[in-house]
Amino acid sequence: MTARPRLVLLFGAVLTALLAVLGADTQDRLANGGYTADGTEAARAGTLLADRFGAGTADLVLLVRAEGGIDSAPARDQGRRLAQQVARADGVTSVRAYWTAARPARSALRSADGGAALVAVDLAGADRQEAATARELAPSLTGRRGALTVSATGPAQVTVEAADTSRRDLLRAELIAAPVILLILVLALRSWTAALLPVVIGVIAVVGTIALLRLLTYAMPVSVFALNLASALGFGLAVDYGLFLVTRFREELGGGAGVREAVARTTRTAGRTVLVSACTVALSMAALLVLPLPFLRSMACAGMAVALLAAAAATVVVPPLLMLLGERIGRHGRPDSPRWRALARSVTRRPAAYGAGCALLLVLLAVPFGHARFGLTDERTLPADAQAHATAREIRERFAAPAERNLTVVLPRPAAAAALTRYEREIRELPSVAKVTRTTQTPRIPQTTQTTQTTRTTQATWSTRATRATRTEAPGGRGTLLTVTGPSDPQSPATQRLVSDLRSVAAPGPALVAGRAAELADTKDAVADRLPLAVGVAVLTTWIMLFLLTGSVLLPLKALLVGALSLTASFGVLVHVFQDGHLRDALGGFTVTGTLDLTMPLLMAAIAFGLAIDYEIFLLSRVREHWLRGYGNREAVVEGVARTGRLISTAALAVAVVTGALAASELTVLKLLGTGLAIAVLIDATLVRGILVPACLTLAGRANWWVPAPLARLHARVGISEGGDGHGDAKEADTDASAVSPGMDNTPTPRARSAP
């Protein structure tokens, strides 16, 4: 790479250009959804409702208002014509309108005041195709239509508006973050030339990730928010890795090395740490793959890709750039920070007091997390004035029993009248049940046309229900649907208990419960079942990577515990702000639902934990380097903090700017994610890296470097070390930390510590 730097850079530029062309239309191939678990009872019930009974959740819902009432002659005439127009549109499989529906179903489609009605539209295809149909159809149907005024909502319309808002947010975030980050880098590195290196890393990482996401859409659905994550995390890691490499290169130049030698040492030391960091971040994101939520899996793929590509760009492209730029990168300033050194000395003199105080503060920040409530994202993630949000809110206010308030018990097989009556009576007696409506009908089965089959084989879908198409009567008996109206909030604890109570009532045959509340209950259960495995994957892989880097048993465990405490503190702040609604106006306003979206804390945990370990690796690599050079434990800690404090705080500030730009999003889910990540990295880079970690390292003393002999021999063979002077690996190869005398001296020894 350094022998022919211009050729390497030319190849990198050409490859990046090709990837940019490949990923040009990625945005159009992304979907919104995947927030509920696959294969649950609620998912199976939803499939039965949609495909056998034609009574599933509508993809597009039109709210029709009539000045003279929906039963006036003009409203009836124009309402029928509207329903016919919708039914004739391409991509529409069925329509249920107030003016054309059978009498038993009409009451649910009429507002309590008689001034509005609903048109429920089912669309063909997967979520992405449904959204494409809604994008074309809704503008031609909404607005003023004679005596009627029409607006749209429903999952497909929410997807359309969320995608448009996400695209605007991505552009706004880049316009806000890019100049601020560049300014931070220029101030930190005191060189425009040096400041451009992290930007190059970020561009390559993000462009490559977008191209990979486009390819991934052919195998699985990819969230529309994956681009926002790739952009924020890609540039955040680029700043981390760029700062680390440039700082190390300058340090080597300042030590008297020539440009070629400085590049070689930087690649061998800092470059190795960058690779460890990227692998750790990627493995942290990989833990999301075991969770049964398609949304999180797609975001995990985006996070893994951008982390690995950022490391690849940092280790492949930056060394040739350093070779060509050479002295123009500069030898500015001293490699350490006097302020961070002073803080580290103060903390290491009284580690117990500082450590306990910092831990107590983090615990206090974490307290609100104790009453956290989790829900599913819906149209309320959109701005309050967005059409889909405002229309859904009006439906809740004007209709006696909006669909989201209902739970549906599906009995697909015929049952005796007496048994059904008993079952219905027992359901009516359950707490929180306001109304029960029984519908008995002949089940239907889908007969999918060739066109729809082609769509299903070439396009991945978030949805657990099958693609709808033309249906014919099924031979055989009749099924029963019981529509249960419960509490007004489908995500409230009372509704969640109602789901459990419904499932505990003995039914006259197989019975499945469908509805928004059932989806939430099943998704929470599915996540709870797989969460220990996800945590186990993250913990085990992180411990292994940190052990390979440090050769210590205790340091990886300390990093995991401190990371968990820091994350919990960040979650507590999120509950206080987003669930409880404090500081709402300071963040530009959002709809307070009384819950946190279930997926966002999980996604935030994976990203923030990866970034925390990223900073831990930078710090520990320097502490260990000075330890191997013969410094005492406490002085090694001071040197590690002094040499990485400014770097980590600058990187964290840049990451906070990138992720914090998402806090300006109009989408609550992105606002929550961006705010949470900004808080997490700032807490970690200041309180945790500046106080808690140095205090813990000082208190542990020689135990930091203890390792059983078998693991010491394993680390000697496969371990990863910066070895600051180029000989660290050889010196420690046969060293059992139990035989080393770390001591607590504060005077650095000029010679490297030799193996016993």
pLDDT above 90 covers what percent of the chain?
Answer: 40
3-state SS record for 492-516:
CHHHHHHHHHHHHCCCCCCCEEECH
Domain boundaries, the chain: 11-25+160-378+522-739
pLDDT digits (tens, 9 = 90+) for 508-546: 888 999 888 899 999 999 999 999 999 999 999 999 988
DSSP state for residue 738 in the 8-state scheme: G
CA distances from 576 to 366, 379, 591, 658 (A): 10, 22, 14, 22
Which pLDDT belongs to residue 442? 57
H-state helical runs in 629-692: 633-660, 668-683
> If DSSP codes are grouped into helix, strand and coil, which group holds residue 536?
helix
Q: Which residue has the higher pLDDT, 438 or 737?
A: 438
Q: What are phi and psi of 435, to 5 degrees?
A: -160, 145
Which pLDDT belongs to residue 658? 86
What are 436's strand-pairing partners? 484
Place of tokens 């109304």: 435
Q: Are 173 and 665 in contact (CB under 8 A)?
A: yes
What are 61's strand-pairing partners? 120, 153
What are 63's strand-pairing partners? 118, 151
pLDDT band per the 50, 70, 90 thresholds, residue 716: confident
pLDDT band per the 50, 70, 90 thresholds, residue 721: low
Tell me the average pLDDT across 732-754. 37
- In this structure, the number of other CB atoms found within 10 A of the CB of residue 174 comes to 16
pLDDT digits (tens, 9 = 90+) for 417-430: 899 899 999 999 99
Which pLDDT belongs to residue 588? 81
> If DSSP codes are grouped into helix, strand and coil, which group holds residue 394?
helix
DSSP character string of 508-563:
SS--EEESHHHHHHHHHHHHHHHHHHHHHHHHHHHHHHHHHHH--SHHHHHHHHHH
pLDDT band per the 50, 70, 90 thresholds, residue 453: very low
Residues 6+ apart with CB under 8 A from 196: none
> If DSSP codes are grouped into helix, strand and coil, which group holds residue 338?
helix
The mean predicted confidence, pLDDT, of the chain is 84
pLDDT digits (tens, 9 = 90+) for 259-317: 889 899 988 888 888 998 899 899 999 999 999 999 999 999 999 999 999 999 999 99
Compute the half-sphere exposure of residue 751: CA atoms within 13 Å on the CB side of its CA: 4
CA-wise closest residue to 248 among 313, 300, 185, 319: 319
Q: Are 550 and 620 in contact (CB under 8 A)?
A: yes
For residues 153 and 162, what is the distance between their CA atoms, to the nearest angstrom? 12
Q: Are 229 and 606 in contact (CB under 8 A)?
A: no
For residues 202 and 211, what is the distance between their CA atoms, to the nearest angstrom? 14
pLDDT band per the 50, 70, 90 thresholds, residue 37: confident
Residues 6+ apart with CB under 8 A from 663: 587, 588, 671, 674, 675, 678
What are 471's strand-pairing partners? 446
What are 273's strand-pairing partners? none
Which pLDDT belongs to residue 747? 36
Residue 315, amino acid: T
The answer to whether residue 456 scores a pLDDT higher than 50 is: no
Q: How many residues does this entry show for the chain?
A: 756
